[in-house]
Amino acid sequence: MLTSLSIRDIVLIEKLTLSFSAGLTVLTGETGAGKSILLDSLGLATGARADRALVRQGQEKGMVSAAFSVAASHPACLLLEDQGLDGGDGEIILRRQITADGRSKAWANDQPIGQGLLSDVGALLVEVHGQHDDRGLLDSAGHRALLDNFGDYGAEMKAVAGAHSELRDASKALMDAEEMLANAKADEEFLEHAVAELDTLGLEEGEEEALAERRTLMMQGEKLADDLKTYQDDLASDGGVDATVRGVLRRMERTEGAAGELLAPVIEALDRAAIELGEGMAALDRLAQDLDFDPHELERTEERLFEIRRLARKHNCQPDELPALLENLKTRYAAVSAGDEMVAEARARVAAARKAMTAAVETLSAKRKAAALELDALVMAELPPLKLENAQFRTAVETLPESDWTAQGADRVSFEVKTNAGTPFGALVKIASGGELARFILALKVVLARGSSTPVMVFDEVDKGIGGATASAVGERLRRLSDSAQVLVVTHSPQVAARGNRQFQISKGDHGAETRTDVVALEDEARREEIARMLAGNVITDAARAAADQLLHIDG
């Protein structure tokens, strides 16, 4: 609830601090006394547009602070915490400063915030209803949420939200599968040919490099073969180097005595040389045999090397990347075959999700229509005492086409009225006059109070143009509404004022060269006198005081 409101240099108020309590608080005073200044100040603190005309004449700036006490889990506290600010643990102080040149600053619990966030927090704390109010119950965009809060069918709403999420995901998966299949089918002929071509090639890793080296070797082979033949002939001339060395070794080995011992190192060295010489000649023979190429082999090597490089150019890759490319193309080609099955599965998922969504929204719509009938009956029961006995109220629940379904269901909800027989139903704001509109709103608020989380409700002259029993009915409903929320009402009706738990009198007077608005909390006799004034006018009579006593239920 609103616990205090502090105002400094706003319009005709120099400095004022008011304390509020739970229940129904009434603000009374003569026309023009400045009752609207309090509402404007509260609006400024809770995010209304900052008008520099609100700054008291001659001052550089004006300031308003509004303190609220709510549960720590209240949406306003949670919103501040979501923004990384101190939620106040149930205590929220909103402060707004406006300068004479129109600039404004805002704070929540002494933390600077933007005007947008201030407005969002303020909307969670205060609802203002007046003859020219175009928010809250007059905005059809919020009627569905109001009906849902009244109906209290959270499980059905959760089911619709879940079904909508599944349908959205299934539809996205189907779209992706169809797109992939379309792309795959467009490339199907290419993929089939490319896979077959690369499969036939049967390229092995590193093959292109090996073929290139062997081709180079074969092309150089003829000259190298002639050179090798010359080397072999030279090594084999005169019996061959190997035979000569081994002959000398045999003779050295037959040397005896001291001479044989001297030759031992030479024999050992020549023996090693003979072994290596033999290995070298054997290697020369093998090389000569390897260079004995088949001319057809060179042709085959060149053809395969050309084909490998052609396919690499065709697919814009390196020859060694062709095996990996083949695997990728095989995967894409397989997707063509599997694509129809994937699309069929995705379509089945969408069909199942749509069926579940349809069932969920039908259940929710049925709940909404039942709640709408209950709401209509309760609101209609409130209208006759409010002098709206010829009026009718209905909650229109319109089922939207499937293309317009959302996570909130398939319904558009709007509150409609008609004030005279034979006239069509229409939106509240278009059909009801100013006074009627305020009373319609009051009737609705009384019925909807059980689903509202807004702790403070403000009614500006909801009783304008009525009196007697109707005004008494308005007061009784405001008092009943204050059982579930703190209610502030600006009133000219003594019947409404007498229902208040607390009353403030607003007056305007001259203080030297200045005119100021003053606010006084009325107790007992002072309150009796104010209600008597509201009954009698400027001259308060004993009859007026007796009537005030009766309204206040005071004996004597």
Write out pLDDT tens, residues 481-510.
888 889 998 888 898 889 899 999 988 887
Helix (H) / strand (E) element for 509: namely strand 502-511
What pLDDT, on the 0 to 100 scale, is given for residue 121? 94
Q: Which range among 247-251, 443-447, 509-513, 518-522 shows the weakest confidence by mean pLDDT?
A: 509-513
- Mean pLDDT (the chain) is 85
Distance of CA 42 to the CA centre of its chain: 31
What pLDDT, on the 0 to 100 scale, is given for residue 221? 66
Higher local confidence (pLDDT), 422 or 521: 521
pLDDT tens, residue by residue, 77-106: 999 999 999 988 889 999 999 999 989 999
Amino acid at 531: I
Amino acid at 16: L
What pLDDT, on the 0 to 100 scale, is given for residue 555? 43
pLDDT (average), residues 521-531: 90
Confidence of residue 130 (pLDDT cuts 50, 70, 90): low
On whether residue 58 sits in a domain, the answer given is no
On whether residue 209 sits in a domain, the answer given is yes
On whether residue 310 sits in a domain, the answer given is yes
DSSP letters along 283-350, please? HHHHHHHHT---HHHHHHHHHHHHHHHHHHHHTTS-GGGHHHHHHHHHHHHHHHHHHHHHHHHHHHHH
What pLDDT, on the 0 to 100 scale, is given for residue 452? 67
On whether residue 314 sits in a domain, the answer given is yes
pLDDT tens, residue by residue, 156-196: 999 999 999 999 999 999 998 888 778 777 777 788 888 88
What pLDDT, on the 0 to 100 scale, is given for residue 292? 62
Higher local confidence (pLDDT), 365 or 491: 365
Structurally, how many domains does the chain consist of? Answer: 1
What pLDDT, on the 0 to 100 scale, is given for residue 440? 84
User: Which of the residue ranges 21-35, 271-285, 356-370, 540-554 has the most confident prediction, judged by mean pLDDT?
Assistant: 356-370
On whether residue 142 sits in a domain, the answer given is no
Query: In angstroms, rounded to a whole number, what is the distance separating the alpha carbons of residues 138 and 415?
Result: 8
Burial class (CB in 10 A: 0-12, 13-18, 19+), 212: middle
pLDDT (average), residues 51-74: 91
Query: In angstroms, rounded to a whole number, what is the distance separating the alpha carbons of residues 482 and 446?
Result: 9
pLDDT (average), residues 209-214: 86
What pLDDT, on the 0 to 100 scale, is given for residue 65? 96
CA neighbor of 64 nearest in space, from 87, 90, 94: 94
Q: Is the pLDDT of residue 434 over 80?
A: no
What pLDDT, on the 0 to 100 scale, is given for residue 250? 81
Query: In angstroms, rounded to a whole number, what is the distance separating the alpha carbons of residues 457 and 126?
Result: 6
Residues 6+ apart with CB under 8 A from 400: 410, 411, 412
pLDDT tens, residue by residue, 281-304: 888 777 777 766 666 878 888 888
| DSSP state letter for 99 | E
Residue 224 domain boundaries? 189-335
Confidence of residue 556 (pLDDT cuts 50, 70, 90): very low
pLDDT (average), residues 251-267: 78
- Give the number of other CB atoms < 10 A from CB of residue 503: 22
Calculate the alpha carbon distances from 305 to 194, 208, 294, 325, 327 in Å.
18, 6, 17, 18, 21
On whether residue 479 sits in a domain, the answer given is no
What pLDDT, on the 0 to 100 scale, is given for residue 92? 94
On whether residue 402 sits in a domain, the answer given is no
pLDDT (average), residues 530-548: 86
Q: Is the pLDDT of residue 259 over 80?
A: no
Q: Is the pLDDT of residue 199 over 50?
A: yes
On whether residue 301 sits in a domain, the answer given is yes
Q: Is the pLDDT of residue 535 over 70?
A: yes
What's the sign of the alpha-carbon dihedral 178, 180, 186, 188?
A: negative
Asked if 34 and 7 count as a contact pair (C-beta separation under 8 A), the reply is: no
